[in-house]
Structure 1
Amino acid sequence: MMGVQAPLIALLVALLILVFLRQLWTRRHYPPGPLSLPVIGGMWRIGIRISEDLAIKLAKQYGNIYCVWQGHQPVIIVSGFQAVKEVLINHGKAFSERPSSQFGKTVLKERGLVDSKGHTWKQQRRFAVVTLRKLGLGKKGMEHQIQEEAQQLVETFARAKGQPLDPSLPITNAVSNVICAVTFGHRFSLEDEKFQKLVEAADVGFKFAFTIFHVWYEMFPWIMKRLPGPHKKAFSAFESVLSFAREETEKHKEQQSFHEPQDFIDFYLLEMWKRRNEPNSTYDEENLVHSIHDFFIAGTETTATSLRWALLLLTNHPDIQDKVYKEIEAVFGSSCSICYQEIKKLPYTNAVIHEMQRSKYNLLVGLLRQCTKDVKVNGYLIPKGAYIVPDLHSVLLDPERWETPEKFNPNHFLDKDGHFVAREEFLPFGAGTRVCPGEHLARIEVFIFLTSLLRAFRLQLPEGVSKLRQDAIVGVTLSPHPYKICAVPRRGSS
């Protein structure tokens, strides 16, 4: 018996070696990366815990374009400004697709704005961009709504009377209410139980992405579907947001308000009615509720996280905070409110906001793309169907483009005369065809919320605290650790 087994084992080993060598040969023009093992590919290199700088460390080892195999699926990570620019801008059309992920098929159904593709994505994105403009994005109407939420936030801070407070929930509620006003046409009371559950569900769902459980679900969906874990909670959270969107849609249909549209749902229902006889129309209720879901989850979490980092950094850097306040007061004095267009009069404030978004970029990496055809980039073959990860975090920390990449330094956006300087390396909202459609709304929110708070309060460390932590909690977002600050009312503020 042993005489038969030995040749069989030798044959099996020889076959495995041949398969391995064939694999190396067929992939010889692909970007380098960790050794691809059977079943798990190169995912062993990521480990159990994903660190904030993992992608940057891998780029130092393998180069600015490298490949990590997810089983038999090539995942190409693109790092640093020049490589990301080459992929997202110079070859933008070839990398404009979204991959069909297991998670997307289960929860997002490849609908809406973020996870859709092809004709569906083009129609849904174009409609979203046009409708935001119709609703007043860039005009005083929408700014007035944001200013109202900013005033509510100032009043919430004021109730703490200078004592330590955690700004996280008030900020998230304020940003969420801006999205609610845009999509539903009304805001919610902060005490509204349903609203609080909605905000909590959005937070849980968003933070699931890029966790190790998410990676495992993508690799072994047939197993993970049968096992308990955070993925089950995330699925439930996503469904809660979708159910809320369906309820609001039904209310709008009952009210028949879409003939005189006032919000995103109204405009969408009107578009559905107009195109009801078009065979290629993708305007339907499922795309509507998934678009609302995308607005709410992406629009709330990223902007709220940016503001939380902003308050933390300004509290840790009182000298920078004071310079911002002095600039605002010198230009506007006791003027009731500041419009976003007036940011041009505040070069230092503008530089500080940009630097906060650069130094504390709030996503682990950019959102996944998929290659639509074979493309040569920097001498490497990126095959059709490969997943593409544009590492925007590495762009904003690229040592070849930023003078002091690891330091919070507003001078990155100022010239020698103190004038604001826009920089092409500043890509927190992405670039190319898939650039964030809510970029302008997010910019307005951060500016109005931040200036409103700084005019009313001086942010200080609580007694006994020497500095707030500046390392991040790693998920799909890079969030600050929970912290408290003292919002001390300035003289003359309400």
Structure 2
Amino acid sequence: MEPLGTSTVLLVICLSCLLLSAIWKSQANKRGKMPPGPPPLPLIGNALQLKTNHLDLTLSKLSEKYGPVFTLHFGMKPVVVLHGYDAVKEALIDQAEEFAPRGKMPFIDKYFQGKGIIFSNGERWKQLRRFALTTLRNFGMGKKSIEERIREEAQYLLEQLQATKERPFDPTFLLNCATSNIICSIVFGKHYDYDDKKFLTIMGLMNDNFEILSSPWGQVANIFPSFMDLVPGPHHRVRANLAKAGAFVMEEVEAHRETLDPSSPRDFIDCFFLKLDQEKNNEASEFTTENLLMSTIDLFGAGTETTSTTLRYGLLILQKYPEIEEKVREEIDRVVGRSRLPCMADRGQMPYTEAVIHEIQRFISLIPLSLPHSVAKDTLFHGYTIPKDTTVLPVLTSVLHDVKEFTNPTEFDPHHFLNKDGTFRKSDYFMPFSTGKRVCAGEGLARMELFLFLASILQNFRLKPLTDPQDIDIKPHLSSVGNVPPKYRLCVMPR
């Protein structure tokens, strides 16, 4: 058999390109009048125009050309980007029902498969989220009882910090343990020691996943999931880590089943089992063992990683700005003193501390693109038609760093949240927990933890960086699903 000639090969390539172009145009016609955007290439879409690290900054540059609502193609899939406060508010608040569904994250969906709270949709999502919110409130979220648990955990944390004896240390695991123990008290009904090896292993797995998902590996795996399945790399650890975390949670679930007392539920898992038993004859019930497992992983993971990373980032920033750290400490001494730990009743009298915490969350923009949304039906938005099930990315960084609201959006400045008279200034642009129907279910708990943990640390310790504050880099080490701070060590000096 003779080899194909050069002209034949070129002809095949040209015909293939024409065929792909025809398919692409056919799909574009079906999509109707979607928002504008850069022309995509067949198969790879706009991949060459996207920086997989700091994707939010790339999208900001594109918005300058294409406006606050534009279309990108992640591979063959169109994605609508919402940039700026007005576009995000109009979608997630003014048209909340249409934009409520969770969008696709192929890399993660392989594990969760639409189960649990965070990655589910439709009736399943409504039932599980409603149940989770009710149960979290019943076990103290937003109440005095959970405040006392956080203050008790703050005491554990302070003891661990004291034990460093002014030596350099990485605060990651201490902060992870502190924040995780709060959600564990609600979900598992128990407290883990800071040296519990199994507990620390799970903390490490969650840290690893957050970093991988926030790296270029995670971003590319979400854009080209089938291709990346064949490519070696750290992204393959994510599913293995989730499986190990699932096994940890499943041990707790099985132990709860064996010791369940229907007359005295101890925590979220017990309450879920009671609901599961109550609806065992309902074939359409969403209260299944699979949804219990995935919902518990959702609460456990989200209740640990986001708050602990915010605290870790905050301590790094305060090392760079010791004058801000000192002003917070002066306010703590004036309002709280040294004889007791801070409490939530103090917060109203501590506008500077509150402004610093808000500015930490604003500045770091922890989840820069939110988690993806989609539209429940063909949706008219800004004069364009977004087809049903199209993925939508609300760029939260574009809201938190909006120059119309924050005078120096890329600078860390607590005065963004202070009035001229020194009182605390609220802002509608403050959306670190997203907004609308998919707003973080644990927002109230996270805010309480951030205030009580940070105020307790600064009340009892001074932060001592290992380098000159001017040399501290506070730009994200990784940026994609999340903004991950650079790794660092510090010393804490007892006061």
Who is 1:418 aligned against?
A: 422
Which of the numbers 318, 323, 326 marks the counterpart of 1:319? 323
Who is 1:480 aligned against?
A: 485
Measured in 1, the distance between the counterparts of 2:198 and 2:444 equals 28
In the alignment, structure 1 residue 350 sits paired with structure 2 residue 349: no
Secondary structure at the counterpart of residue 257 of structure 1: coil
Measured in 2, the distance between the counterparts of 1:273 and 1:95 equals 33
Name the stretch that deviates more: 217-226 or 346-355: 217-226
In the alignment, structure 1 residue 44 sits paired with structure 2 residue 48: yes
Instruction: For residue 19 of structure 1, report the CA deviation from its aligned partner.
Output: 5.7
Question: Conserved in 2, the CA contact under 8 Å of 1:183 and 1:264?
Answer: yes
Measured in 2, the distance between the counterparts of 1:322 and 1:41 equals 50
In the alignment, structure 1 residue 120 sits paired with structure 2 residue 120: no
Distance 1:72 1:417, change over 3 A: same
Measured in 2, the distance between the counterparts of 1:235 and 1:3 equals 46
Match runs of 1:210-229 below 5 Å: 211-229=215-233
Match runs of 1:19-34 below 5 Å: 29-34=33-38
What does the per-residue CA deviation read over 1:377-424, in whole Å, with 9 as the maximum and x for residues that have no partner?
222222212100111111100112211111111111111211112111
Instruction: For residue 166 of structure 1, report the CA deviation from its aligned partner.
Output: 2.0
Match runs of 1:226-237 below 5 Å: 226-237=230-241
Question: Conserved in 2, the CA contact under 8 Å of 1:209 and 1:476?
Answer: yes
Structure 1 counterpart of 2:487, one-letter code: P
Structure 2 counterpart of 1:388, one-letter code: V
Structure 2 counterpart of 1:434, one-letter code: R
Q: Which runs of 5+ in 1 are unaligned?
A: none
Structure 1 counterpart of 2:490, one-letter code: I
Who is 1:409 aligned against?
A: 413
Superposition RMSD on alpha carbons, in Å?
2.5
Name the stretch that deviates more: 358-367 or 442-451: 358-367
Distance 1:20 1:319, change over 3 A: same
Question: Conserved in 2, the CA contact under 8 Å of 1:461 and 1:467?
Answer: no
Match runs of 1:61-210 below 5 Å: 61-209=65-213
Measured in 2, the distance between the counterparts of 1:391 and 1:46 equals 15
Question: Conserved in 1, the CA contact under 8 Å of 2:399 and 2:429?
Answer: yes
What does the per-residue CA deviation read over 1:94-142, in whole Å, with 9 as the maximum and x for residues that have no partner?
0111134433442012111110110110011001111111101122221
Which of the numbers 481, 488, 494 marks the counterpart of 1:489? 494
Measured in 1, the distance between the counterparts of 2:158 and 2:60 equals 38
Question: Conserved in 2, the CA contact under 8 Å of 1:96 and 1:369?
Answer: yes
Question: Conserved in 1, the CA contact under 8 Å of 2:139 and 2:186?
Answer: yes
Instruction: For residue 161 of structure 1, report the CA deviation from its aligned partner.
Output: 2.6
Measured in 2, the distance between the counterparts of 1:301 and 1:362 equals 11
What does the per-residue CA deviation read over 1:422-441, in whole Å, with 9 as the maximum and x for residues that have no partner?
11100000111000001011
Who is 2:383 aligned against?
A: 379
Distance 1:246 1:433, change over 3 A: same
Which of the numbers 50, 54, 57 marks the counterpart of 1:53? 57
Instruction: For residue 144 of structure 1, report the CA deviation from its aligned partner.
Output: 1.7
In the alignment, structure 1 residue 297 sits paired with structure 2 residue 276: no
Q: TM-score, normalised by structure 1?
A: 0.92
Name the stretch that deviates more: 428-437 or 91-100: 91-100
Instruction: For residue 485 of structure 1, report the CA deviation from its aligned partner.
Output: 2.2
What does the per-residue CA deviation read over 1:199-218, in whole Å, with 9 as the maximum and x for residues that have no partner?
11112223333544334444
Distance 1:54 1:460, change over 3 A: same
Match runs of 1:437-476 below 5 Å: 437-462=441-466, 466-474=470-478, 475-476=480-481
Distance 1:25 1:110, change over 3 A: closer
Instruction: For residue 36 of structure 1, report the CA deviation from its aligned partner.
Output: 1.0
Who is 2:255 aligned against?
A: 251
Instruction: For residue 466 of structure 1, report the CA deviation from its aligned partner.
Output: 4.3
Question: Conserved in 1, the CA contact under 8 Å of 2:70 and 2:80?
Answer: yes
Question: Conserved in 2, the CA contact under 8 Å of 1:52 and 1:472?
Answer: no
In the alignment, structure 1 residue 397 sits paired with structure 2 residue 378: no
Name the stretch that deviates more: 171-180 or 349-358: 171-180
Name the stretch that deviates more: 288-297 or 101-110: 101-110
Measured in 1, the distance between the counterparts of 2:226 and 2:386 equals 28
Which of the numbers 334, 340, 362 marks the counterpart of 1:330? 334
Name the stretch that deviates more: 462-471 or 393-402: 462-471
Distance 1:32 1:158, change over 3 A: same
Structure 2 counterpart of 1:480, one-letter code: P
What does the per-residue CA deviation read over 1:166-224, in whole Å, with 9 as the maximum and x for residues that have no partner?
22221112112222212111111121111111111112223333544334444544444
Measured in 2, the distance between the counterparts of 1:14 and 1:250 equals 57
Instruction: For residue 2 of structure 1, report the CA deviation from its aligned partner.
Output: 10
Distance 1:52 1:73, change over 3 A: closer
Secondary structure at the counterpart of residue 93 of structure 1: coil
Q: Which runs of 5+ in 2 are unaligned?
A: none
In the alignment, structure 1 residue 277 sits paired with structure 2 residue 281: yes
Pairs aligned (count): 490
Q: TM-score, normalised by structure 2?
A: 0.92
Name the stretch that deviates more: 424-433 or 345-354: 345-354
Structure 2 counterpart of 1:133, one-letter code: R
Question: Conserved in 2, the CA contact under 8 Å of 1:252 and 1:258?
Answer: no
